[in-house]
Amino acid sequence: MRFFFYIRRMTRLFTSIKKIYEDNDYKARASLATFGAVVTGFYTIVMFIIALKFSHGLTIGGFIGLLITAILIHRVVILKRTFKEHEYLTGREAGILKALAIEHNLDPESYKKLEGSATPVQMPSPGTVVLPKNSKKVETAPPTDVEIKDALNNSITFTESKKAKVVLLGDSIRLLGYGPLVSEYLGDEYEVWQPEENGKFASNLLRQLFDYNDKIESADIVHFNAGEWDVCDLFGDGPFTPKELYVRQIKRVAQLLINKEKKVIFATTTPVGKANVYNKNEVIAEYNDAVIPELMSMGVRINDLYSVVSENLRQNIAQDSLHLSDEGAVQCAQSTARMIKFLK
């Protein structure tokens, strides 16, 4: 009987471990790896004591224990870092989703669960109509012949209406990445213009508002990004642009565009690969978090490209660990096009 009792306990243990990995519970996985490191570390110490007392050398068991301990410790570090990034993205996406719900007078109760969710929030595509949980489908009568005729006549004026003009501004993430692809995903209803010049720093982008004023004046929507140059730390003494100055300059850009009665979209700074020694994701996330609430309070829409790229960092970042890969450019262009269509 005791044998079957232990079998049941082991089965429950393995089931719990399997659920941890299936649910991507990084915190629990890190705890599990820590426990494994402690156990193998204790085993390694015992093997070394035996080796020193009896064989005066390193036993195979001690060497294996040392190797496994080192692997598990490395795994713990990776899992804890992944958990922090996972937690950061979940909190940011839930916050933005909740803000959108409140803005569109949706049921806020349905968003309370997102705050404590351990799984990433699936952001809805801009333009998607979300109804409250208790809403009912409204039955409408079929259109009359007169209504159908009016609709056909109105469709002619739609084809003759002018295209919505879009201006894209930003650094090389825009210039070499998503920018050239946006018009493809927007379609024939939009006319997209973007400069062939790299926007670089936020302050340089501010200057470009003067240089490209004619294009901006004729635009309906302006989408911009800046940040990779600002957070760059080439000398080890901090980013080129202090965080407070970065936020102030981005807000100035947004306010000047709003003053021109433009619909404004800001794209968050994208993450970089692990091999990048000058730009760090924790700094990028810090700058994004500082500027997002300020812009949202001004009525600026947020195109969260940081989250888009972070979904598959290895696939979406190029070999230089900074710019977008072909796949990353497509993902960001599609996100940008959805946001622009949502604003039209």
Residue 147 tokens, joined: 């209504």
Average pLDDT over residues 189-216: 96
**Distance, CA of 240 to CA of 242 (rounded, Å):** 7
Which stretch of DSSP H or E encloses residue 153? helix 145-160
State yes or no: pLDDT of 153 exceeds 50. yes
Which stretch of DSSP H or E encloses residue 289? helix 281-297
For residue range 56-109, list pLDDT tens digits in order: 555 666 667 677 777 767 666 665 666 555 555 555 555 555 555 555 555 545
State yes or no: pLDDT of 156 exceeds 50. no
Angle at 338 between CA 336 and CA 340, to 5 degrees: 70
Predicted model pTM: 0.58
For residue range 130-140, list pLDDT tens digits in order: 443 343 444 44
State yes or no: pLDDT of 284 exceeds 90. yes
**Distance, CA of 5 to CA of 81 (rounded, Å):** 38
pLDDT at residue number 55: 59
Residue 290 tokens, joined: 């500082």
Domain map (residue ranges) of the chain: 2-84, 151-343
151-343 has CATH 3.40.50.1110 classification = yes
What's the chain's average pLDDT?
77
Name the more confident of 23 and 229: 229
| Residue 276 backbone phi and psi in degrees, to 5 | -75, 120
**Distance, CA of 29 to CA of 27 (rounded, Å):** 5
